[in-house]
Every structure is written in structure tokens, then in C-alpha cells.
A and B are shown apart, each in its own frame.
Chain A
Amino acid sequence: AQSVTQLGSHVSVSEGALVLLRCNYSSSVPPYLFWYVQYPNQGLQLLLKYTTGATLVKGINGFEAEFKKSETSFHLTKPSAHMSDAAEYFCAVSGSGTYKYIFGTGTRLKVLA
């Protein structure tokens, strides 16, 4: 069985500050992990993914995430927030060779001027 927990349904940061969005997962098989971003009235856009290999994954728009197996975490970070980063972010887990994503409940990021 797999599950995803996103800590904090709402996160506010100042423009230029560090963005940290938390995601913890549980999986009985080696996980594939994903971060998606959803802008208002739009679909989900893939930010980055981890399947195998390097545990630090770089994505689009300056975001990155680190797979930490010992902590069962896949937190999303960005060194300096921009106003355009305001959106909802979803973490998802699937298993190797499987199609079913389990999504977290999402974290809405607000960027303050």
C-alpha cells in the first residue's frame, strides 16, 4: 500500500525567501515520486520526478527535491521565491512499473511581496 502526506495545506513565504514544501510517503515497493504544480484554473504540470539514481532531482522553474529513503521524504525546495510561484503543489507516489498515482492533498503556496 502507498500513501502520501503533505504537511501544511497552506504555506506563505516572502518574495526572495526559501520555499520548503514537505512531502512524506509510505510505500511497500521502491517508490517513484513526483511533484506537480497547479496554477489557478489550469491542469497539473510536472515539476520534477524521482525514479532511480541520483537522489537530488532538479526540476523546472528552479525547484528541486531530494529523495531521502531513511526519512521517507521528498521535500520540494526553491532557494528564492518569486511571485509567479504562487500555486498549489501536489506530491504523488507510485511504484516502479505501476500506473497508479497516489496524490497528496496539496499545499497552496502564497508568496508575499
Chain B
Amino acid sequence: DAGVIQSPRHEVTEMGQEVTLRCKPISGHNSLFWYRQTMMRGLELLIYFNNNVPIDDSGMPEDRFSAKMPNASFSTLKIQPSEPRDSAVYFCASSPPPTDTQYFGPGTRLTVL
């Protein structure tokens, strides 16, 4: 059974460019989470979707960040314009109902020059 799939695994871009990160949750899972991991701040929850609906986006840093979940099998996290301080590893996780255990993808390492 495939786990959470994220693409790309690595992304290097220049400041000001648009970045789109992609996630495919585990089939049958109805909750999806986007996290950011940095040395300074550890693991931070950015946004939580339940049944494709954003429930909690209080962790989204600012308007430059946006996330969508058009269907149960796909989500995107977009940064526009990107800044060097956005450099981090971004994880997607999904959870089956009831939402008590999260399964993480391998992450996307983003470097903004």
C-alpha cells in the first residue's frame, strides 16, 4: 500500500519565484495536513483539511502561502512570491477517520536562493 506521496522531493528556486508543492494522501484518508520543519522552529502545522475543506489555516505564515485540496487524492501548497526564509522541509501527512494518527510523506526540501 503506497504511503503519502510528495513531489518534488527537492526544489531549489530563486527569491520571488512561485513554488508549488504537491501531495497525494493515502487512499481512504479524509484528513490532510501540511507541516513545515526548520531547525529554529521545529515542526509547525500550516494547514489542516478535513474532507477536502480547510478547517484550520492559522499556521499559514502569511498571504504568500496558499493551499488547496481540489479532491480527496490531491493537495497543493503554493508560495508566491518565495523568500529565502521559506527554505525548509515541507511535509504532508494524512489521517484516516477518526483523526488520531497521522502518516507522513517523505517531505519536500525547499531552498530559496
Contacts and interface: CB of A to CB of B under 8 A. Distances in A.
A42 B106 contact: yes
A36 B107 CA distance: 15
28 contacts: A32-B100, A34-B101, A41-B109, A42-B106, A43-B91, A43-B105, A43-B106, A44-B91, A44-B93, A45-B104, A46-B103, A49-B100, A49-B101, A51-B100, A90-B43, A94-B100, A96-B100, A99-B31, A99-B50, A99-B55, A99-B56, A99-B95, A99-B99, A100-B45, A100-B48, A103-B43, A105-B42, A106-B42
A97 B107 CA distance: 26
Q: Which 3 A-B pairs have the closest CB atoms?
A: A43-B104, A44-B104, A103-B43
Decide if the interface of chain B is mainly helix, strand, loop or mixed.
Answer: strand
B103 to A, nearest CB: 7
Given A90-B43, A100-B45, 13 more contacts: A32-B100, A42-B107, A43-B106, A44-B93, A46-B101, A49-B101, A94-B100, A98-B99, A99-B48, A99-B55, A101-B45, A101-B102, A103-B43
A107 B79 CA distance: 30
B97 to A, nearest CB: 11
Nearest to B3: A43
A44 to B, nearest CB: 4
A90 B93 CA distance: 15
Contact of A97 (B95, B98, B104): B98
